[in-house]
Structure 1
Amino acid sequence: MKKIIMALLAVVVIAVVGIAALVALVDPNQFKPMIAEQVKKATGRDLVIEGDISWRFFPSIGFDIGKTEFKNPQGFAEPNLAQFDQAELSVSVMPLFSQQLEIGNVSLLGGRVFIQTLENGVSNLDGLSGQEATEPAAESTGTPAEPPSVSEPAPAAEQQAWQISLAGVEISNASALIIDDKAGSQTEVDRLDFTLDQFAPGEWTAAQFNIAGSAAELGFSAEGQTELLIAEKLDGAEIKALSLKASAKDAVNDIRNATISLDSFKLGDWSTIEFAIDGEIPDLSFSTKGSTQLMVDDAIKLISLKGAKLNADLKGASLPRPEMKVGLEADAKYNLEKGLAELTTLKAAIDELALKGNASFQSADTPVIRFDLSSDNIDVDAFLGTGNESASSKQGDDSNQAGTAGANTGAASEKETDQEPDLSVLKTLDLAGKLAVGQFKAANAHMSDVTLAMTVKNGVFDLSGLDAKLYQGTIHTTAKIDANGKLPTYRVTKKIKGVQVQPLLVDVAQNDTLAGSGDITVNVSGTGLAEKRIRENITGTIDIRFADGAIYGVNIPEMIREARATLKGQKAEYVKEEKKTDFSAMTATIKLGNGVASTSNLDIDSPLIRINGDGSTSLVNETIDFSVNTSVVATSKGQGGKEIDEVADLTVPIDVKGNWSEPTFSLNIAQLLKQNNELEQKAQREVERGLEKLLGDKAKDDDIKKAADKLLKGLFN
């Protein structure tokens, strides 16, 4: 026993003497220049170890390193790319003889990283490979460099892999600052704490972290934990049981709680992610939940999402409704090399508005977006909350406004603006897509079987086709907006065929003054999209062809009878009839230009009457000035069963005046009387000519002339 004790004491003495000799004879600070030289050779940067390097002997041999700085090149806002106040590292010696690297606790205190990208795109991370600091030997000698000698590998039986273990990693009170002068952004990490429990390759270990910082004015914090596995050959890693909790806030935004959980992650395998975010942004509060399966391929080139789901409850004044629900389901892929994101089997719902299809996004200087979407039903009015306005209330509003329309320059005077819409987005996108909708409603107009194809590229919006069924007819529309000039330009063509006009007008404008089956061809263009500029600058034509309809609000046959009675100095017999004028065909070509819409070929035909007219309306102040001439061209019963044979061949002039909200119809008495005088004079000449042929010189007899005058007066009175 005594010998054993003496042997142990001898070992202790030898160890103490060895350590004392190591401390006395080997000063680790003498390695500073060598370390700095090797760093300079490898990176081209200076490494400055200001503090001392000191030995550690318990619980294992290691080093304590004082303040150390890794320098930046000249021209950056901070002198150091990385620095720390103190670092500790220890290694067990005896296991090294068995090719076991047992590293003690690694501790880093007061670490800081500074990364900056200048306005010219140069970063302090550039050139860290050190290639700029050394010249290849082949270039300096002019001869090819000889390949380095390679020793023969040891036989497999003689090779033994190193076993590495780590007692733990602790990073305390670290910080970072990332500045991008080119993008004008700045992100600062005020505090980073990180701990890693003891682990060895091939074995799971636990990690925890806590971080706080700011990006611009947005402050953020996050904390989380996970389990980590480093592959035995150090060629891969896995994580599992990841949980993350974060928050962010600035003057107007408040992300109160964001949580993310991940069951596991390994390259080439599917992982399950669940997340939830609650918070507020200006005029909107939200609560979202979602989940997806995630896979990153072994080459780290493709990220895939399967069964991605997102549900959100929204509240706020910025929404079309006080509260809304949003849902999203899709499979997705993102190609890192191409910067291409693809959404397949996409299903999106915002309350009752639902879409499905596929879409893609490719990152580029001008992002490329493609989509092909469809929906069974889209009700824009219900979505925007504008579909409950009744026709009667609308008409009531119009009647209230009509009283003031004449006092100023029309209802539009208060609405007009010179402010052009912001179309800058047209210059930032390369977008093309298709949309198909089974039933569509907007501005109370109903359409079905809607198909739309559009593109946006180089500042030009091109609606290559909008086709739909509309009130028993069809509509085809094309449009183009070019935002590249000082003011945007536009061109619109529209072809409407077989549309029932009255139900369309009732739904859209709460106006039932016109009925019939209509064909309308629109071809217009202009400069400027502000309302005032559209009214002033629009040019083109609108060609109208209506059949088998009626004009409500005016009964022209009744006005003809009133005209006849006026010529006779009598009061027309009152017959209770609906105020409408039937027609078999109505045609007109409306020309637009200089703020005016005008026509010179208005023509309305029916078996009983013919109506033609001309006139104009101001698009700026919404006034109307039309003259309409109505003629009875057949012997027939008029509307209401009243015989009008006696007014055949009579043309009745009607003036249409007023404004768009309250047009007025009135007889042009002056023209009517002038017409009557002309007819009476013409009839008198014909009678005199007939009497001369019949009676010869006797026709000039005063008695015969009086008899002829009495007959003519009876006809016209």
Structure 2
Amino acid sequence: MAKLIRWVGIIVGLLVLLSILLSVAVYMLVDPNDYRAEIETAVTDATGRTLSIDGELSLKTFPCCGIRLGALSLSNPPGFPDQPFASIEGAAVSVQLLPLILSQELHIGQVELAGLDLQMISRADGTNNWEMGGATGAETEAEPDTADSGPGEFGVAGVSVSDGQIAYRDEATGGDIRLSDINISIGKVALGEPFSLSMAFNAEGLLEGMKNAVSLDTDVSLDLDAGSVALENLGLALDDIVAKGWLRIPDMDQGQIAFDLAVDALDADIFLGPPAEEPEPASEAETTGDEPLDLPLQDLRALNIDGSLGIGELKAAGATLTNVKLGLVAKNGLIRLNPFNADLYGGSYAGDVQLDARGQKPKVSLNDTLSSVHLGELLTAMTGESQLAGIGNLSIDATTTGNTVNEMMGALNGDVSLSMDEGRYLGTDIWYEIRKAKAKYSKTDLPEEPENPYTDVTEFSGSANVTNGVVRNDEFTAGAPFLRLTGNGSINLLTDALDYRLIARMVGTPEFGGDEGLGELEGIDIPVDLSGSLDSIDFSIDWGGIFGSAIEQKKEEKKEEVRERAKKKLEGLKDKLSF
């Protein structure tokens, strides 16, 4: 055993010595600058571009052989700017000799790129400057593949990119994206084995009007034969937004993407940019609703996605949703969000949203439900204020189609139902308004105006049918203290026209510390006509007719009461006279 160990030590020592001697020999006898012209010519033949090696080439000889490059650049193709397409400030690569000599295994050491600069341009005609083409001339016949034509194994110890930048310009859209401070680290790479990938950069233009810090850490699996890529143990950060999970592309030729990601918190409002300025009246008039929606139908039809997304807290349109679960399936122009569940403001949301982009006109279907949501909190979060409070329920089952907003509105069909418990309408005291109107009619003192007016809503429910953009409601009921409301009518979503009638009936007589004659209204129907548009609702109530009818009715009731009493007295007197 001791002899075996001794011989192994001698062999290893000789191999190390041989490596050192070979490295010294290469360093002394080979000057890589002698091959500068050959390298530049080979790259030109392969790409049709000009490679310029500006810096000196130097050899690395121990512990492995390699080469270190100075500044170099690769030109743009003809028809693009004279500036280089790609350039680096310096690079280094090494090859381990012993595995190559002993077992024909190509082991590349650390590959280093410093100051990488890519200038990418996409033209309106579809051409770009990153597709490579060979130089014109006769093509060389490819050598036949043989089992012994190259190294048996291939590997790279790692790759690092430091202080890089990438600029991308889309001349068709005018979009510009700039990535700066790019730093990339790739772990050991071997055929058929996953490798680690870490990168970080700053982005400008990736999201409109925003600058973002982006980082990525993941394990990458590549299958070149199957054309698949998988990112496992994925950690992706965009500023303060962190997503974890996995992303897989089973077949890059098919463009299919599968993912399962979880995000702790996401503020979707920041991606919408600053609020748009209020348009001038003239520009408002220019918007008719007949403008094309310009949906990217071709891009939507090309989507091939099957993914799941979970968000702990999502902020959208000012509202905050928690425990969001979203499933996304898109294939052949059919895109579906299902399940789409979330908790919000004491209640929950469950939705099933589908977009069909297969035809000339996109079709949308909605099947959404809000359950036990605190409406006051929701409306305040979305608009900054709310006149309505209560626990609301809403369900929508509808479909539509069209290429403009007006087409979508005119083709809307479906059913809607809503209800509310423990409601309160802030800003209006319905009984104060009734008492004030009656006092004006009776020419008596007006009641004292409440400091914080409100009306309790003890009951609220209704349903509607939507046909070609016209919402028709025939089943509406609501209640307030000593009042019952019913209603029916329609709203034309295309023209914004409102035609609705509410009937209010007083049940019982409220007490306000004095005799205001409100008992005269008990059992009287009070019609309230609503017209105009949703933005400017006109109320029409014939208070004079109501109070006059109520008083006349009470007078008639009083006269009838007097007649009955007189009749009874006459009958009693007649009975006495008959004896």
TM-score range, shorter chain: 0.7 to 0.9
Aligned to 2:194: 304
Aligned to 1:240: 109
Aligned to 1:499: 373
Aligned amino acid, residue 575 of structure 1: E
Aligned with 2:266 (options 349, 361, 378): 378
Aligned to 2:443: 570
Aligned to 1:663: 537
Aligned to 2:257: 369
- Pairing 1:345–2:233 present: yes
Asked if 2 retains the 8 angstrom alpha-carbon contact of 1:175 and 1:192, the reply is no
Aligned amino acid, residue 443 of structure 2: Q
Measured against aligned partners, the alpha-carbon deviations of 1:474-526 in whole angstroms (never above 9, x if no partner) come to 11111111100110111111111111111211222345232211111111110
Whole-angstrom CA distance in 2 between matches of 1:572 and 1:589: 41
The Cα shift of 1:325 comes to 1.3
SS across alignment from 1:267: strand
The Cα shift of 1:267 comes to 2.9
SS across alignment from 2:377: helix
SS across alignment from 2:164: strand
Whole-angstrom CA distance in 2 between matches of 1:285 and 1:696: 105
TM-score normalised by length of structure 1: 0.60
Whole-angstrom CA distance in 1 between matches of 2:439 and 2:60: 112
Aligned amino acid, residue 314 of structure 1: A
Distance 1:641 1:550, change over 3 A: farther
Whole-angstrom CA distance in 2 between matches of 1:640 and 1:661: 39
- Pairing 1:285–2:140 present: no
Asked if 2 retains the 8 angstrom alpha-carbon contact of 1:372 and 1:433, the reply is yes
Measured against aligned partners, the alpha-carbon deviations of 1:186-233 in whole angstroms (never above 9, x if no partner) come to x52235779999999x98364869663435737535575534456236
Measured against aligned partners, the alpha-carbon deviations of 1:107-159 in whole angstroms (never above 9, x if no partner) come to 9xxxxxxxxxxxxxxxxxxxxxxxxxxxxxxxxxxxxxxxxxxxxxxxxxxxx
Whole-angstrom CA distance in 2 between matches of 1:284 and 1:602: 54
Aligned to 2:13: none
Asked if 2 retains the 8 angstrom alpha-carbon contact of 1:623 and 1:659, the reply is yes
- Pairing 1:331–2:219 present: yes
Aligned to 2:173: none
The count of corresponding residues between Structure 1 and Structure 2 is 497
- Pairing 1:471–2:338 present: no
SS across alignment from 1:461: strand
Asked if 2 retains the 8 angstrom alpha-carbon contact of 1:608 and 1:638, the reply is no
Aligned amino acid, residue 65 of structure 2: W
TM-score normalised by length of structure 2: 0.73
SS across alignment from 1:451: strand
Residue segments in structure 1 that go unaligned for 5+ positions in a row:
1-104, 108-166, 180-186, 256-265, 698-717
Q: For 1:169-568, what aligned pairs fall within 5 Å after superposition?
A: 171=38, 174=41, 188-191=48-51, 204=65, 206=67, 212-215=74-77, 217=80, 219-222=84-87, 224-228=91-95, 231-232=100-101, 235-240=104-109, 242-244=111-113, 246-249=116-119, 267=154, 270-282=157-169, 283-297=176-190, 300=191, 302=192, 304-306=194-196, 308-316=197-205, 319-320=207-208, 322-382=210-270, 384=272, 413=287, 417-528=291-402, 530-565=404-439
Aligned amino acid, residue 337 of structure 1: D
Aligned amino acid, residue 49 of structure 2: V
Asked if 2 retains the 8 angstrom alpha-carbon contact of 1:618 and 1:624, the reply is yes
Distance 1:341 1:649, change over 3 A: same
Aligned to 2:144: none
Asked if 2 retains the 8 angstrom alpha-carbon contact of 1:562 and 1:571, the reply is no
Whole-angstrom CA distance in 2 between matches of 1:497 and 1:593: 25
The Cα shift of 1:644 comes to 3.5
Measured against aligned partners, the alpha-carbon deviations of 1:690-713 in whole angstroms (never above 9, x if no partner) come to 48965889xxxxxxxxxxxxxxxx
Aligned amino acid, residue 226 of structure 1: V
Asked if 2 retains the 8 angstrom alpha-carbon contact of 1:378 and 1:440, the reply is yes
Aligned amino acid, residue 351 of structure 2: T
Residue segments in structure 2 that go unaligned for 5+ positions in a row:
1-28, 130-152, 170-175, 572-579
Aligned to 1:135: none
Measured against aligned partners, the alpha-carbon deviations of 1:46-91 in whole angstroms (never above 9, x if no partner) come to xxxxxxxxxxxxxxxxxxxxxxxxxxxxxxxxxxxxxxxxxxxxxx
- Larger radius of gyration between Structure 1 and Structure 2: 1
Whole-angstrom CA distance in 2 between matches of 1:443 and 1:683: 57
The Cα shift of 1:290 comes to 2.7
SS across alignment from 2:529: strand
Distance 1:598 1:637, change over 3 A: farther
Whole-angstrom CA distance in 2 between matches of 1:571 and 1:662: 32
Asked if 2 retains the 8 angstrom alpha-carbon contact of 1:188 and 1:213, the reply is no
The Cα shift of 1:326 comes to 1.4
RMSD across aligned C-alpha pairs, in angstroms?
A: 4.4
SS across alignment from 1:232: helix
Distance 1:512 1:363, change over 3 A: same
